[in-house]
Structure 1
Amino acid sequence: MTAAAPARKRRTQAERTAETREALLEAAIGLLYRNGYSKTPIELIAEEAGVTRGAMRHHFRTRAQLMAAVIHTVYEQEHRSYREIAASRGRAAVLSDWPDMLWAVLSKPSGLAVLEVLQASRSDPELAALVMPMQARIEQMSFEAIKEQFGSDDEAETRAAIRLFVWAVRGLSIAQVLTPNPADTRRSIDFLKMLIEGATRAGLVDAQGRPGPARRTD
């Protein structure tokens, strides 16, 4: 006699709910990357996720709520990725490490999906009301992390550096899908790294991005 196969454990309602939500978010991210915001209606997202519109409405009452959840989900993924890269590769100790780290994280399809939603928020008041405070919180978290690691005392300068690096790399992530040879975009990341290293050698900043002797006036 053959042994009876073990009975499959039935999923709980909470597990089914979480799986449906995850499927919807993954479908939205993939469609945003492939089609753009204007061609990613909620009906298509539900179809891609394999759920009914009713089931989707149970999780997200409006398209704006779903898109805001995409932003939140991707930002959480990016935050984990930065920590994992820093821990596994021993990176992020110096300023010149950051272009490579940012590119590894922000050039993913999910990064393009975020840009689609952020751009759409300019003309959608409901979406902007959900997304803009989230964007501000993420920037503040980035500032606190950089301040803790590098000990920067100049808040305005640190924020300026964060915005320059993040949005330069986000812009290059768009160029990656528009240029005839996407691999060429990687050279721009290498050039940004070279500029940082040159500024360090010239004494404009130290390895942690703080003003060097050539910039200090006190």
Structure 2
Amino acid sequence: MQDQTIPKLRRTQEERTATTRMALIDATIAAIGEWGYAGASTTLIAQTAGVSRGAMLHHFATRAALMADVVRHVFDHEMAEYEDVRARTGLGNHLYDWPRLLWAVLGRPSGMAVLEILQATRSDPELAALVVPMQEAVERSALAVMRGAFGGDEAQALTIMRLMVWSVRGLSIAERYLPRRAETEDAIELLGRLLQQAAPGGRIAELGPLLVK
């Protein structure tokens, strides 16, 4: 009788590399969530990922390079998450939906990890050199998406986007240190309602009179 065992397919080097890098990114997010940015050492991250420190350094020569890749990965993943939520629930089809949508995504451990990395750029020039330009590029990409969906000129859209994103990020910090989720969610809901009253059609141009200096 012939052996019916199906041979295992060997992974390519590219697949192994992608798997290891993803494990390190996930481990970094977990380590920052557990021990904070300062406590998330490369040794601890490598242990959490189940790889040697040498293997980690093969993929990321410095801690700053790893943190920068975390920011890049999280942004790409968040954009996919926004689209998934919009497709499944319809939430996000109006401008005033976005505080709730942002809260659903930015309040996750990955969003909090990015926030800690951004804060750390103040005292780490190497990290700032990698992350700040990336964050600026992220903002430009998000701004293009927002204008495509809700119109408005660039200055208007940037003002509204920063109001929503950084209000939600600030509330995510409050949630960590003042863990009263119902109150935080009430604040998110209020921001959405204020935007709905100001722009009932869900378009940025409706907010024009409020943005005149």
> One fold, TM greater than 0.5?
yes
What is the aligned length?
212
Whether 1:207 aligns to 2:209 is: no
Whether 1:69 aligns to 2:64 is: no
In structure 2, what is the equivalent of residue 167 of structure 1? 166
CA drift at 1:4: 4.2
Contact 1:95/1:209 (CA < 8 Å) preserved in 2?
Answer: yes
Question: Residues 176, 24 of structure 1: CA spacing in aligned structure 2 closer, same or farther, 3 A cutoff?
Answer: same
TM-score w.r.t. structure 2 length? 0.92
Question: Residues 142, 45 of structure 1: CA spacing in aligned structure 2 closer, same or farther, 3 A cutoff?
Answer: same
5+ unaligned residues in a row in structure 2: which ranges? none
Work out the percentage of aligned pairs sharing the same amino acid: 46
**Partners of 1:2 and 1:99 in 2: CA distance:** 61
**Partners of 1:60 and 1:97 in 2: CA distance:** 38
Q: What SS does the aligned partner of 1:36 have?
A: helix
5+ unaligned residues in a row in structure 1: which ranges? none
Aligned AA (1:125):
P
Whether 1:150 aligns to 2:144 is: no
CA drift at 1:117: 0.3
Whether 1:36 aligns to 2:36 is: yes
CA drift at 1:3: 5.6
Question: Residues 4, 103 of structure 1: CA spacing in aligned structure 2 closer, same or farther, 3 A cutoff?
Answer: same
Q: What SS does the aligned partner of 1:207 have?
A: coil
| RMSD between superposed Cα atoms in Å | 2.0
Q: How does 1:1-218 map to 2 (within 5 A)?
A: 4-153=4-153, 155-200=154-199, 206-211=201-206
CA drift at 1:181: 2.4
Contact 1:99/1:193 (CA < 8 Å) preserved in 2?
Answer: yes
CA drift at 1:178: 1.4
**Partners of 1:65 and 1:212 in 2: CA distance:** 40
Question: Residues 112, 88 of structure 1: CA spacing in aligned structure 2 closer, same or farther, 3 A cutoff?
Answer: same
Question: Residues 167, 216 of structure 1: CA spacing in aligned structure 2 closer, same or farther, 3 A cutoff?
Answer: closer
Aligned AA (1:198):
Q
Q: What SS does the aligned partner of 2:122 have?
A: helix
TM-score w.r.t. structure 1 length? 0.90
**Partners of 1:183 and 1:199 in 2: CA distance:** 24
Question: Residues 215, 55 of structure 1: CA spacing in aligned structure 2 closer, same or farther, 3 A cutoff?
Answer: closer
CA drift at 1:209: 2.4
**Partners of 1:212 and 1:9 in 2: CA distance:** 56
Contact 2:68/2:131 (CA < 8 Å) preserved in 1?
Answer: yes
Q: What SS does the aligned partner of 1:97 have?
A: helix
Contact 1:143/1:159 (CA < 8 Å) preserved in 2?
Answer: yes
CA drift at 1:213: 8.6
Question: Residues 71, 214 of structure 1: CA spacing in aligned structure 2 closer, same or farther, 3 A cutoff?
Answer: closer
**Partners of 1:209 and 1:177 in 2: CA distance:** 31
Question: Residues 57, 152 of structure 1: CA spacing in aligned structure 2 closer, same or farther, 3 A cutoff?
Answer: same
